Amino acid sequence: MAKTFIFGHQNPDTDAISSAIIMTDFEQSLGNKEAKAYRLGEVGPETQYALDYFKVDAPELLNEDLTDQEVILVDHNEFQQSAETIEKANIKHVVDHHRIANFETSAPLYYRAEPVGCTATILYKMYREEDVEIKPEIAGLMVSAIISDSLLFKSPTCTKEDKEACEALAIIADVDLEQYGLEMLKAGASTTDKSAEELLDMDAKSFNMGDYVTRIGQVNTVDIDEVFDRQDELEKAMLKASAEEKYDIFILLVTDIINSNSKVLVVGSEKDKVAKAFNVSLENDTAFLEGVVSRKKQVVPPVTDALTEEA
Protein backbone atom coordinates (compact mmCIF):
# COMPACT_ATOMS: atom_id res chain seq x y z
CA MET A 1 0.00 0.00 0.00
CA ALA A 2 1.30 3.46 -0.92
CA LYS A 3 2.20 5.92 1.79
CA THR A 4 -0.56 8.42 2.58
CA PHE A 5 0.36 11.95 3.67
CA ILE A 6 -2.25 13.56 5.94
CA PHE A 7 -2.06 17.23 6.89
CA GLY A 8 -3.97 20.41 7.64
CA HIS A 9 -3.34 23.95 6.41
CA GLN A 10 -0.28 26.18 6.62
CA ASN A 11 0.29 28.00 9.92
CA PRO A 12 -1.64 25.19 11.60
CA ASP A 13 -4.00 25.80 14.49
CA THR A 14 -5.19 23.22 16.99
CA ASP A 15 -7.84 21.81 14.64
CA ALA A 16 -5.37 21.44 11.75
CA ILE A 17 -2.78 19.61 13.85
CA SER A 18 -5.27 17.53 15.80
CA SER A 19 -7.31 16.55 12.75
CA ALA A 20 -4.20 15.31 10.95
CA ILE A 21 -3.40 13.06 13.92
CA ILE A 22 -7.03 11.96 14.30
CA MET A 23 -7.49 11.21 10.60
CA THR A 24 -4.28 9.18 10.63
CA ASP A 25 -5.56 7.11 13.54
CA PHE A 26 -8.86 6.64 11.71
CA GLU A 27 -7.16 5.50 8.50
CA GLN A 28 -4.86 3.12 10.35
CA SER A 29 -7.82 1.68 12.26
CA LEU A 30 -9.44 0.89 8.90
CA GLY A 31 -6.31 -0.86 7.64
CA ASN A 32 -4.27 1.91 5.99
CA LYS A 33 -1.11 1.30 7.97
CA GLU A 34 0.92 3.59 5.69
CA ALA A 35 -1.04 6.68 6.71
CA LYS A 36 1.08 9.31 8.45
CA ALA A 37 0.27 12.73 9.91
CA TYR A 38 2.29 15.81 8.99
CA ARG A 39 2.14 19.53 9.71
CA LEU A 40 2.73 22.54 7.47
CA GLY A 41 4.19 24.86 10.08
CA GLU A 42 5.22 25.29 13.68
CA VAL A 43 3.09 24.09 16.58
CA GLY A 44 1.58 26.99 18.54
CA PRO A 45 1.50 27.13 22.34
CA GLU A 46 -2.23 26.36 22.55
CA THR A 47 -1.80 23.24 20.42
CA GLN A 48 1.32 22.23 22.32
CA TYR A 49 -0.64 22.46 25.57
CA ALA A 50 -3.18 19.98 24.19
CA LEU A 51 -0.51 17.63 22.85
CA ASP A 52 1.35 17.67 26.16
CA TYR A 53 -1.82 17.20 28.19
CA PHE A 54 -2.83 14.10 26.26
CA LYS A 55 0.76 12.88 25.76
CA VAL A 56 0.68 12.89 21.96
CA ASP A 57 3.68 13.75 19.78
CA ALA A 58 3.41 16.54 17.24
CA PRO A 59 3.39 15.43 13.60
CA GLU A 60 6.54 15.69 11.55
CA LEU A 61 7.06 18.84 9.47
CA LEU A 62 6.30 18.10 5.82
CA ASN A 63 9.30 18.74 3.57
CA GLU A 64 8.71 16.17 0.83
CA ASP A 65 7.73 16.70 -2.80
CA LEU A 66 4.14 15.45 -3.10
CA THR A 67 4.24 14.83 -6.86
CA ASP A 68 2.16 11.69 -7.52
CA GLN A 69 1.95 11.02 -3.78
CA GLU A 70 -1.32 10.02 -2.11
CA VAL A 71 -2.59 12.70 0.24
CA ILE A 72 -5.55 13.41 2.50
CA LEU A 73 -6.39 17.01 3.35
CA VAL A 74 -8.01 17.96 6.63
CA ASP A 75 -9.29 21.35 7.80
CA HIS A 76 -8.66 23.01 4.43
CA ASN A 77 -9.06 22.64 0.69
CA GLU A 78 -7.80 25.86 -0.90
CA PHE A 79 -4.48 25.19 -2.62
CA GLN A 80 -2.86 28.46 -1.51
CA GLN A 81 -3.31 27.30 2.10
CA SER A 82 -1.83 23.88 1.45
CA ALA A 83 1.53 22.24 0.69
CA GLU A 84 3.75 23.75 -1.99
CA THR A 85 3.38 20.84 -4.43
CA ILE A 86 -0.27 20.03 -3.67
CA GLU A 87 -1.37 20.55 -7.29
CA LYS A 88 0.82 17.63 -8.33
CA ALA A 89 -0.41 15.29 -5.60
CA ASN A 90 -3.05 12.58 -5.82
CA ILE A 91 -5.71 13.87 -3.43
CA LYS A 92 -7.73 10.89 -2.21
CA HIS A 93 -9.87 12.43 0.51
CA VAL A 94 -10.79 15.82 2.00
CA VAL A 95 -12.46 16.39 5.37
CA ASP A 96 -13.20 20.06 5.94
CA HIS A 97 -15.62 22.66 7.34
CA HIS A 98 -14.63 25.70 5.27
CA ARG A 99 -15.78 27.19 1.99
CA ILE A 100 -14.66 25.35 -1.16
CA ALA A 101 -12.48 27.51 -3.39
CA ASN A 102 -9.43 27.22 -5.64
CA PHE A 103 -9.66 23.44 -5.56
CA GLU A 104 -9.79 20.82 -8.29
CA THR A 105 -8.53 17.31 -8.91
CA SER A 106 -7.97 15.19 -12.00
CA ALA A 107 -9.55 12.09 -10.48
CA PRO A 108 -12.58 11.30 -8.29
CA LEU A 109 -12.13 11.49 -4.55
CA TYR A 110 -13.96 11.27 -1.25
CA TYR A 111 -14.93 14.79 -0.19
CA ARG A 112 -16.68 15.45 3.08
CA ALA A 113 -17.52 19.01 4.01
CA GLU A 114 -20.08 20.01 6.60
CA PRO A 115 -21.13 23.43 7.95
CA VAL A 116 -20.04 22.72 11.52
CA GLY A 117 -17.60 24.61 13.70
CA CYS A 118 -14.71 22.19 13.59
CA THR A 119 -13.22 19.46 11.40
CA ALA A 120 -12.83 17.26 14.47
CA THR A 121 -16.63 17.19 14.82
CA ILE A 122 -16.90 15.63 11.37
CA LEU A 123 -14.17 13.13 12.24
CA TYR A 124 -16.05 12.21 15.41
CA LYS A 125 -19.07 11.37 13.26
CA MET A 126 -16.89 9.29 10.93
CA TYR A 127 -15.57 7.23 13.86
CA ARG A 128 -19.11 6.54 14.99
CA GLU A 129 -20.34 5.67 11.51
CA GLU A 130 -17.55 3.14 11.03
CA ASP A 131 -17.78 1.89 14.62
CA VAL A 132 -14.12 2.72 15.25
CA GLU A 133 -13.00 2.95 18.88
CA ILE A 134 -12.08 6.47 20.01
CA LYS A 135 -9.05 6.24 22.28
CA PRO A 136 -8.88 8.67 25.23
CA GLU A 137 -6.01 10.64 23.71
CA ILE A 138 -7.82 10.91 20.37
CA ALA A 139 -10.96 12.05 22.19
CA GLY A 140 -8.83 14.62 23.99
CA LEU A 141 -7.51 16.03 20.73
CA MET A 142 -11.05 16.18 19.34
CA VAL A 143 -12.15 18.08 22.45
CA SER A 144 -9.19 20.44 22.11
CA ALA A 145 -9.89 21.16 18.44
CA ILE A 146 -13.58 21.86 19.04
CA ILE A 147 -12.86 24.13 22.01
CA SER A 148 -10.24 25.99 19.98
CA ASP A 149 -12.38 26.55 16.89
CA SER A 150 -15.50 27.41 18.88
CA LEU A 151 -13.74 29.49 21.55
CA LEU A 152 -15.33 27.26 24.16
CA PHE A 153 -18.71 27.34 22.35
CA LYS A 154 -18.84 31.18 22.14
CA SER A 155 -18.14 31.45 18.41
CA PRO A 156 -21.08 31.83 16.00
CA THR A 157 -19.56 28.99 14.00
CA CYS A 158 -20.31 26.60 16.86
CA THR A 159 -23.26 24.30 16.18
CA LYS A 160 -25.33 21.99 18.31
CA GLU A 161 -23.38 19.11 16.76
CA ASP A 162 -20.05 20.57 17.90
CA LYS A 163 -21.23 21.03 21.48
CA GLU A 164 -22.84 17.60 21.72
CA ALA A 165 -19.77 15.92 20.25
CA CYS A 166 -17.47 17.78 22.64
CA GLU A 167 -19.55 16.85 25.68
CA ALA A 168 -19.54 13.17 24.69
CA LEU A 169 -15.82 13.21 23.95
CA ALA A 170 -15.00 14.92 27.26
CA ILE A 171 -16.28 11.82 29.05
CA ILE A 172 -13.94 9.58 27.06
CA ALA A 173 -11.03 11.99 27.54
CA ASP A 174 -11.88 12.46 31.23
CA VAL A 175 -11.68 16.26 31.24
CA ASP A 176 -13.79 19.08 32.62
CA LEU A 177 -14.66 21.15 29.54
CA GLU A 178 -14.78 24.55 31.22
CA GLN A 179 -11.61 24.12 33.27
CA TYR A 180 -9.55 22.42 30.57
CA GLY A 181 -10.87 24.69 27.84
CA LEU A 182 -9.98 27.93 29.60
CA GLU A 183 -6.50 26.70 30.48
CA MET A 184 -5.85 25.60 26.91
CA LEU A 185 -7.11 28.87 25.40
CA LYS A 186 -5.07 30.92 27.87
CA ALA A 187 -1.96 28.90 26.98
CA GLY A 188 -2.19 30.27 23.47
CA ALA A 189 -3.18 33.81 24.44
CA SER A 190 0.13 35.29 25.58
CA THR A 191 1.58 37.71 23.00
CA THR A 192 4.44 39.51 24.75
CA ASP A 193 6.97 36.79 24.02
CA LYS A 194 6.35 36.79 20.26
CA SER A 195 7.75 39.00 17.53
CA ALA A 196 5.44 40.94 15.22
CA GLU A 197 6.18 38.45 12.45
CA GLU A 198 5.29 35.54 14.71
CA LEU A 199 2.00 37.15 15.73
CA LEU A 200 1.06 37.80 12.12
CA ASP A 201 1.94 34.31 10.97
CA MET A 202 0.76 32.13 13.86
CA ASP A 203 -2.81 31.80 12.53
CA ALA A 204 -2.98 33.40 9.09
CA LYS A 205 -4.57 32.33 5.83
CA SER A 206 -4.53 33.71 2.29
CA PHE A 207 -7.71 34.02 0.23
CA ASN A 208 -8.41 34.85 -3.39
CA MET A 209 -11.29 37.34 -3.30
CA GLY A 210 -12.20 38.52 -6.77
CA ASP A 211 -9.14 40.29 -8.17
CA TYR A 212 -7.49 40.57 -4.77
CA VAL A 213 -5.21 38.38 -2.68
CA THR A 214 -6.24 38.91 0.91
CA ARG A 215 -4.26 37.80 3.94
CA ILE A 216 -6.20 37.44 7.18
CA GLY A 217 -4.38 36.74 10.42
CA GLN A 218 -5.99 36.19 13.80
CA VAL A 219 -4.51 36.53 17.26
CA ASN A 220 -6.46 35.30 20.29
CA THR A 221 -5.66 37.17 23.48
CA VAL A 222 -7.02 38.14 26.88
CA ASP A 223 -5.78 41.72 26.42
CA ILE A 224 -6.37 43.46 23.07
CA ASP A 225 -4.43 46.54 24.18
CA GLU A 226 -1.36 44.38 24.80
CA VAL A 227 -1.28 43.66 21.07
CA PHE A 228 -2.15 47.16 19.85
CA ASP A 229 0.58 48.72 21.96
CA ARG A 230 2.76 47.34 19.16
CA GLN A 231 0.67 48.68 16.28
CA ASP A 232 3.53 50.49 14.50
CA GLU A 233 5.66 47.36 14.63
CA LEU A 234 2.79 45.21 13.37
CA GLU A 235 1.92 47.57 10.51
CA LYS A 236 5.52 47.64 9.29
CA ALA A 237 5.63 43.85 9.33
CA MET A 238 2.28 43.62 7.51
CA LEU A 239 3.42 46.03 4.79
CA LYS A 240 6.70 44.18 4.39
CA ALA A 241 4.92 40.79 4.08
CA SER A 242 2.42 42.28 1.62
CA ALA A 243 5.22 43.60 -0.61
CA GLU A 244 7.10 40.31 -0.53
CA GLU A 245 4.12 37.98 -0.97
CA LYS A 246 2.00 40.25 -3.21
CA TYR A 247 -0.93 40.59 -0.82
CA ASP A 248 -3.33 43.33 -1.86
CA ILE A 249 -4.86 43.51 1.61
CA PHE A 250 -3.61 42.34 5.01
CA ILE A 251 -6.14 42.13 7.85
CA LEU A 252 -5.17 41.36 11.42
CA LEU A 253 -8.05 40.32 13.68
CA VAL A 254 -7.19 40.54 17.38
CA THR A 255 -9.79 38.64 19.38
CA ASP A 256 -10.59 38.93 23.08
CA ILE A 257 -11.38 35.31 24.01
CA ILE A 258 -12.94 36.30 27.33
CA ASN A 259 -15.36 39.01 26.15
CA SER A 260 -15.90 37.74 22.58
CA ASN A 261 -15.02 40.94 20.73
CA SER A 262 -12.28 41.86 18.26
CA LYS A 263 -10.29 44.81 17.03
CA VAL A 264 -9.08 44.85 13.44
CA LEU A 265 -5.95 46.35 11.86
CA VAL A 266 -5.98 46.76 8.07
CA VAL A 267 -3.29 47.68 5.54
CA GLY A 268 -3.46 47.66 1.77
CA SER A 269 -5.00 49.33 -1.24
CA GLU A 270 -8.62 48.51 -0.45
CA LYS A 271 -8.91 49.48 3.20
CA ASP A 272 -12.11 51.42 2.58
CA LYS A 273 -13.81 48.34 1.15
CA VAL A 274 -12.81 46.33 4.21
CA ALA A 275 -14.28 49.04 6.46
CA LYS A 276 -17.46 48.96 4.40
CA ALA A 277 -17.65 45.18 4.86
CA PHE A 278 -17.96 45.69 8.62
CA ASN A 279 -20.00 48.91 8.38
CA VAL A 280 -17.37 50.80 10.37
CA SER A 281 -14.91 53.64 9.84
CA LEU A 282 -11.22 52.95 10.22
CA GLU A 283 -9.39 55.24 12.61
CA ASN A 284 -5.62 54.97 12.35
CA ASP A 285 -6.24 51.80 10.27
CA THR A 286 -8.17 50.15 13.11
CA ALA A 287 -11.75 49.50 14.15
CA PHE A 288 -13.48 47.74 17.04
CA LEU A 289 -15.75 44.89 15.95
CA GLU A 290 -18.25 44.06 18.66
CA GLY A 291 -19.18 40.39 18.83
CA VAL A 292 -16.84 39.38 16.00
CA VAL A 293 -14.71 36.34 16.84
CA SER A 294 -14.87 34.08 13.79
CA ARG A 295 -12.68 34.63 10.75
CA LYS A 296 -14.54 31.95 8.80
CA LYS A 297 -18.07 33.17 9.42
CA GLN A 298 -17.83 36.84 10.38
CA VAL A 299 -14.81 38.10 8.42
CA VAL A 300 -14.24 36.13 5.21
CA PRO A 301 -17.83 36.31 3.86
CA PRO A 302 -18.40 40.08 4.25
CA VAL A 303 -14.90 40.98 3.07
CA THR A 304 -15.31 38.69 0.06
CA ASP A 305 -18.61 40.37 -0.78
CA ALA A 306 -17.09 43.83 -0.44
CA LEU A 307 -14.13 43.00 -2.66
CA THR A 308 -16.09 41.23 -5.36
CA GLU A 309 -19.09 43.54 -5.74
CA GLU A 310 -19.17 45.57 -8.94
CA ALA A 311 -18.41 49.22 -8.66
Binding residues for Mn(2+), by number, are 9, 13, 15, 75, 97, 149
CB burial readout 277-290, b (16+ within 10 A) else e: bbeeeeeebbbebe
Work out the end-to-end distance of the chain between its first and last CA atoms, rounded to an integer number of angstroms.
Answer: 53
- What's the CA gap between 157 and 102, in Å, rounded? 22
Contact 96, 112 (CB under 8 A): yes
**CA dihedral over 133, 6, 81, 57, signed as positive or negative:** positive
CB-based contact 286:228 (threshold 8 Å): yes
- Known binding residues are 9, 13, 15, 75, 97, 149
Cβ atoms 105, 91 nearer than 8 A: yes
Nearest to 288 by CA among 263, 266, 267, 271: 263
Q: Report the alpha-carbon distance of residue 4 to residue 62 in Å, rounded.
A: 12
